[in-house]
Chain A
């Protein structure tokens, strides 16, 4: 008995899912109306990734704009929006949401087979199989001041000079230590033989001698 109610519930759930599916895509002959079709769609704003400087996305402040201001629509709590009585043709839908960059969407409402609606992002010419609009990226209106980091100090000219000095002070004696004593002696003798390098010895003519 318990299992049968469970399966019934499952069946109902599946049916519920199916009933949701068609509504997620734009579609639409509106019965009884002579002029135009309805465009349904959905705006999805990821709730994660709200950075420090970007404003938290408020669904209540998001607007959907048809044809550059001809009509304005608003989002329901679940992100759905709709435009009613839209004539057949090619339209442009923009989403205005502070803090997010949405690509405008080209929407073709077919006159020949009523209710057929095709959508494509105009920024990257990607077709949408499902009319769900997602932001391409978060918008940064202000340039963020770079946070403090050790590397920025190291990379600065003063930091580079300090680094060089450290190398000279600590690494050079180490190099000397690692040298072979004989080699060292030979080098010292060579130095002595040559004496102080004079200007004459540096000149090409003098070197030949």
Chain B
């Protein structure tokens, strides 16, 4: 194995486990449904579990001091994991009838030997579960009560279940903690509608905003009586324009209200009176309260002030004093701080020290202690959206000399170190430095192209909108950049990165130039949202240029033409059926005019079961003449019968693939010529009934139909059916063959099939005499319009394992093909 990296994804919840003895760790659950235990000193993964794709983690906590409890799948699966090694200890399936908010509530008992009661609310039911073996002790169904439960409050004897019925009736149920019996049921009807969100302020109050977000309502549940107070926000703060939002941080006796970029900290007194304690500007994140002793609760917040980041930790009750105020320096590439979790430790002088775990905008995870970043993890790499490769620069003669001249000092230092190493007088630090130097100069991780093209840069676009370049030799990050076009802003609330393409691949005479990459992003998930393009230098990661497009982007088609600077031409198809030429230069336009009638592409409408072929028609007809805009026409269309077939997979050849051998020698010493065409498409259709998951269809109703289609003429070159088979189909198309993986319901096993397409028109060119006499047809022009004479060979095999993805290897010299 060369290298192996594990990532966890963007952290949702974090729980610290820092006992005096043993290793200190932090337990996290992430948006990629990962539950993991990380080393608090170095950030390494102790253990990690990737739950199923539908098994979203709702809550994570520690029980009994030795189990990690996770609630997932909408509050229906509760699992306990052993803290040191991640072994699952028990699992409980919780039944319920109605989808609801899911809440995991584990009491923070300092004595861990007591049998903690885990309270789980999920699917409209409250379950009390023993934390030792996961047994359900009692269960109370709230499905019939039409209450939207939002809080579970546990006290030693009584459990309070609170929530709204409708938007103005607030209900509180009191349950016996031992048996789950209903003790009391109380409610209050507010004379106005509420915004729905509510905050529990320990010990017995709730804060709610009315639906106009102008009033704060305090609901008091003293001894079973419910009463409320209300106060206008404008009474608390003078400038109260803007939407008020209650921040969900749990702080005893305090609540945080966010208005515009300002956060008001409001003290809730025992009588239900509200008083503004502080106003904090430009806050980024608030933590939950952390109790460091019996009566001392602290919380942290992060503030941005002219390019500086301040981390403050304050006592909830003693507002005047800062327990900690630190300035942080965080690489601005990481974006804003989105979440913060704090933990305390006791210093040698018995004062409290704090460490903070921060989740950044680019999904990376940082641990900050004493104003320094102790470790960081690039967990954005857990959610890769698209990937492409880039060749490394060619090794040039004399490059090393130039480098030496650039940093002679470094070079000298390296040699001194090596000399020390050989004379055995190197200190341990020196040895590490020597190791690093060796590793850096080793063949594997060189930053130059190798003879066989194994070393490459993997350019990766993550869901957070960050682009990474990874070296294939050892997997280290060469560069990373957060694209401004893919960052959250006022104009664009939910930017998504879509695709990444090679924009310029220098060959031949343009080798001195660095290759560049195109990144396409869109504002929000809707197809008509505005799109932005970014161009990056593949070697340095610098953003060369960025464009906000006036049109949408449905598809990007790299054309097989380049201009004089080896810049590839691209067509961008928008949703209004226009094709736009990029780069927008006269030269590109000239090249396109020349090749106007030779450009074809296809589109797949999977929902309608239609595949269409397109060609360019003419320039757009607008008021303003745009010579880089074209309209196109439909050449052909294939309509699949919707009652019997549904498109589930399409795959085509990579446009930059090189075929190194034209023919294949069969087992009987016969030579077959490969049918090699770039305009060839593999389509897999399943019966509509059997297009779901495995286990939902019977073999009789399942059918898989395979097509190989010529995308210039729309001709179906080959068609094949697999009776009793269904998807998911994973396929790879390379050279003249396609390999696909599917599920056979009859045998109830996975299968893999290969189709090889051979050119029959050249099949006669086997006789050496024909070549000598010039009677071969190798020089006859090949046109995509001709009806190709092909023969397809197919084989199927059982394949034991299920497959997530399938790809073909490619090397510079065509090994293994």
**Which residues does A use to contact B, with CB under 8 Å?**
30, 32-34, 38, 58-60, 65-77, 82, 84-85, 87, 89-92, 94, 101, 103-104, 106, 122-123
Contact = CB atoms under 8 A, between A and B. Distances in A.
Contacts of A89: 695-696
Given A67-B695, A72-B50, A122-B749, 10 more contacts: A38-B93, A59-B87, A68-B802, A69-B53, A70-B693, A74-B49, A75-B88, A82-B91, A101-B800, A104-B800
Contacts of A104: 749-750, 800-802
A59 B54 CA distance: 23
A23 B55 CA distance: 25
A168 to B, nearest CB: 43
Nearest to A75: B88
Nearest to A123: B800
A94 B804 CA distance: 14
Contacts of B801: 94, 104
Given A60-B86, A89-B696, A71 B52 contact: yes
B802 A60 contact: no
Contacts of A92: 694-695, 743, 748, 802
Contacts of A30: 93, 95
Contacts of B87: 59-60, 77
A103 B800 contact: yes
A60 to B, nearest CB: 4
Contacts of B50: 72
A107 B266 CA distance: 58
Q: 3 closest Cβ contacts across the A-B interface?
A: A84-B93, A68-B802, A72-B52
B143 to A, nearest CB: 12
Contacts of B91: 73-74, 76, 82
Nearest to B94: A84
B802 A69 contact: yes
Interface string B712-756: 000000000000000010000000000000010101111000000
Given A60-B47, A70-B695, A94-B801, A77 B93 contact: no
Contacts of B748: 90, 92, 106, 122
Contact of A90 (B76, B695, B802, B804): B695
Interface of B: 47, 49-55, 76-77, 79, 82, 85-91, 93, 95, 97, 693-696, 698, 728, 743, 745, 747-750, 800-802, 804
Contacts of A123: 800
A68 B88 contact: no
Contacts of B802: 65, 68-69, 92, 94, 104
A48 B553 CA distance: 58
Of listed A70, A75, A85, A103, residue having the most chain B CB within 10 A: A70
B596 to A, nearest CB: 46
A85 B95 CA distance: 9
Contacts of B749: 104, 122
Contacts of B79: 74
A199 B801 CA distance: 70
A60 B54 CA distance: 21
Contacts of A65: 802
A44 B480 CA distance: 45
A66 B728 CA distance: 14
A76 B91 CA distance: 8
13 contacts: A67-B693, A68-B693, A69-B52, A70-B52, A72-B51, A74-B79, A76-B88, A77-B87, A89-B695, A90-B698, A91-B694, A92-B802, A104-B800
Contacts of B695: 66-67, 70, 87, 89-92
Contacts of A77: 87-89
Given A60-B88, A90-B695, A122-B749, A71 B95 contact: no
A72 to B, nearest CB: 4
B794 to A, nearest CB: 23
A70 B79 CA distance: 18
A33 B141 CA distance: 13
Consensus secondary structure, chain B interface: loop
A71 to B, nearest CB: 5
Of listed B54, B85, B88, B696, residue having the most chain A CB within 10 A: B88
B54 A71 contact: yes
A131 B800 CA distance: 19
Given A122-B747, A122-B748, A68 B694 contact: yes
A198 B95 CA distance: 103
A76 B728 contact: no
Contacts of A74: 49, 79, 88, 91
A68 B52 contact: no
A66 B696 CA distance: 12
Contacts of B694: 67-68, 70, 91-92
Contacts of A69: 52-53, 802, 804
A87 B747 CA distance: 20
A30 B94 CA distance: 11
Contacts of B86: 60
A71 B745 CA distance: 19
Nearest to A122: B749
Nearest to A76: B88
B83 to A, nearest CB: 12
Contacts of A38: 93
A71 B49 CA distance: 13
A55 B181 CA distance: 51
B90 A76 contact: yes
A76 B804 contact: no
B740 to A, nearest CB: 15
Contacts of B693: 67-68, 70
Contacts of B750: 68, 104
A146 to B, nearest CB: 21
Nearest to B93: A84
B89 A71 contact: no
A22 to B, nearest CB: 18
Contacts of A68: 693-694, 728, 743, 750, 802
A77 B749 CA distance: 29
A80 to B, nearest CB: 9
B93 A85 contact: yes
Contacts of B696: 87, 89
Nearest to B54: A71
Nearest to A60: B87
Contacts of A59: 87
Nearest to B141: A32
A89 B689 CA distance: 14
B730 to A, nearest CB: 10
Of listed A30, A75, A76, residue having the most chain B CB within 10 A: A76
Contacts of A101: 800
A89 B697 CA distance: 8
Contacts of A87: 695-696
A72 B55 contact: yes
A204 to B, nearest CB: 40
Contacts of B52: 69-72
A87 B695 CA distance: 8
A145 to B, nearest CB: 16
Of listed A30, A32, A69, residue having the most chain B CB within 10 A: A69
Of listed A30, A75, A84, residue having the most chain B CB within 10 A: A84
B791 to A, nearest CB: 33
A122 B696 CA distance: 18
Given A71-B55, A89-B696, A92-B695, A60 B85 contact: yes
Contacts of A33: 95
A122 B743 CA distance: 12
Contacts of A122: 747-749
A52 to B, nearest CB: 16
A68 to B, nearest CB: 4
A101 to B, nearest CB: 8
Contacts of B747: 122
Contacts of A85: 76, 93
B501 to A, nearest CB: 29
B400 to A, nearest CB: 36
B752 to A, nearest CB: 14
A97 B693 CA distance: 23
